[in-house]
Chain A
Amino acid sequence: MKYVVAFLRFWYDFIVGDDWRIAAGVVAALGLTAVLAHQGLAAWWLMPAAVVAILLASLRRARA
């Protein structure tokens, strides 16, 4: 069990890193883009805008 936890912890740290909110924000933005696209609406603008917002929010938290 200890090794399984260590293994999962390693991959969590490797991929998610210092700020889990970045990963959560990316998943939410991709989901929202998919919803807009499947409604037949223009969705290309959402990811760049969301990524800028996610990055700036993470930097703000790091600064605080």
Chain B
Amino acid sequence: MTRDAFLFLSAFLASGVEMVEALTIVLAVGVTRGWRSTLTGAGAAALVLAIVVAVLGPAVSALPFDVLRIVVGGLLLVFGLQWLRKAILRASGAIARHDETAAYAKEREEAERAAGERRGAMDWYAFTVAFKGVFLEGLEVAFIVITFGAAREGGVALAAAAAGAAFVVVAVAGAVARAPLARVPENTLKFAVGLLLTTFGVFWGAEGAGATWPGDDAALPAILALLTAVSLLAVRVLGRDRVRRLSVEPLEVRP
């Protein structure tokens, strides 16, 4: 139960965050260049992603279980640690936070400037940008669904259901707001997703390598608590360090 709840929550949040970013791109291009080509591009990307999941999901699941858990654990760790690292750097102010309003404005400006190629009714600029945006953001979702799903029986369905639920929530919110979902606390969500991916990576990776967790599933919240404490401490230390450096180097101009 603990594992399923964590798995659903992780897949839902990770998918939701990526979909918010994809929505920003689709909205910016659609509003600027028209909806037909934009939605065709987004739909084509969704189709390719569904094929990727349908082909890779069963292929990955066919691996022996212990091999699968160590591979999935390792991939989740590499992926999760990258997310967590970036989230900590953003939270401490070391790098700029992701801003959907700014991303939307930039996409719109580029879409307005681009001459684009129109053949028949199709605007190929809008198609390509929407396809690329949805595909690249969606690939992370597909990766998470496949890796989470592969590590336990019925996991692909559970992770896919979580991704589907996230899609519905983001699509409805986007349709109602008709604007980028800037009020979604994206940086905080990415922090949480980084923590959850890393937690699962530690748990499954160690199990796959032959270790036995004391308390079995009960180890999951303990790993999460440890990683959360370390990450928050890192944010604090990096933030303090940054303030100190800025006060020592007052003439330095930072973006």
A51 touches which of B79, B81, B219 (Cβ 8 Å): B81
Q: Is the CB of A52 within 8 A of B230?
A: yes
Does B248 count as interface, using CB distance less than 8 angstroms?
no
Residues 52-89 of chain B, each 1 if its beta carbon lies under 8 Å from chain A, else 0: 00000000000000000010011101110110111011
Does B45 count as interface, using CB distance less than 8 angstroms?
no
Q: Is the CB of B206 within 8 A of A44?
A: yes
Q: Is the CB of B238 within 8 A of A63?
A: yes
**Contacts from B to A (Cβ < 8 Å):** 70, 73-75, 77-79, 81-82, 84-86, 88-89, 94, 139, 143, 198, 201-202, 205-206, 208-214, 219, 223, 226-227, 230-231, 234, 238, 241
Q: Is the CB of B81 within 8 A of A22?
A: yes
Q: Which A residues lie within 8 Å of B210 (CB)?
A: 33-34, 37-38, 43
Q: Is the CB of B223 within 8 A of A58?
A: no
Question: Which 8 A-B pairs have CB atoms at the shortest separation, nearest pair first?
Answer: A37-B210, A43-B211, A33-B209, A34-B209, A17-B82, A47-B206, A44-B211, A26-B77
Interface pairs (13), CB distance under 8 Å: A17-B78, A17-B82, A18-B82, A23-B78, A26-B201, A44-B213, A47-B211, A48-B226, A51-B201, A52-B226, A55-B84, A55-B198, A63-B94
Q: Is the CB of B209 within 8 A of A43?
A: yes
Q: How far is the CB of B94 from chain A (nearest CB, A)?
A: 7
Q: Which B residues lie within 8 Å of A62 (CB)?
A: 85, 89, 94
Known contacts A17-B82, A30-B73; decide if A44 and B89 are in contact (CB<8 Å).
no
Q: Is the CB of B81 within 8 A of A58?
A: yes
Q: Is the CB of B89 within 8 A of A59?
A: yes
Q: Is the CB of A26 within 8 A of B209?
A: no
Provide the main secondary structure of the chain B interface.
helix
Residues 1-19 of chain A, each 1 if its beta carbon lies under 8 Å from chain B, else 0: 0000000000000111111
Assembly CA distance A42 to B77 (angstroms): 21
B85 touches which of A22, A31, A43, A47 (Cβ 8 Å): A22
Q: How far is the CB of A22 from chain B (nearest CB, A)?
A: 5
Q: Which B residues lie within 8 Å of A26 (CB)?
A: 74, 77-78, 81, 201, 205
- For chains A and B in complex, what number of residue pairs have CB atoms within 8 angstroms? 102
Provide the main secondary structure of the chain A interface.
helix
Assembly CA distance A37 to B70 (angstroms): 13
Q: How far is the CB of A6 from chain B (nearest CB, A)?
A: 14
Q: Which A residues lie within 8 Å of B84 (CB)?
A: 55
Assembly CA distance A48 to B78 (angstroms): 14
Assembly CA distance A17 to B211 (angstroms): 28
Q: Which B residues lie within 8 Å of A33 (CB)?
A: 205-206, 209-211
Q: Is the CB of A22 within 8 A of B82?
A: yes
Q: Is the CB of B230 within 8 A of A30?
A: no
Q: Which A residues lie within 8 Å of B227 (CB)?
A: 48, 51-52
| Chain A residue at minimum C-beta to C-beta distance from B215 | A44
Q: Which B residues lie within 8 Å of A48 (CB)?
A: 202, 223, 226-227
Q: Is the CB of A55 within 8 A of B230?
A: yes
Q: Which A residues lie within 8 Å of B79 (CB)?
A: 15
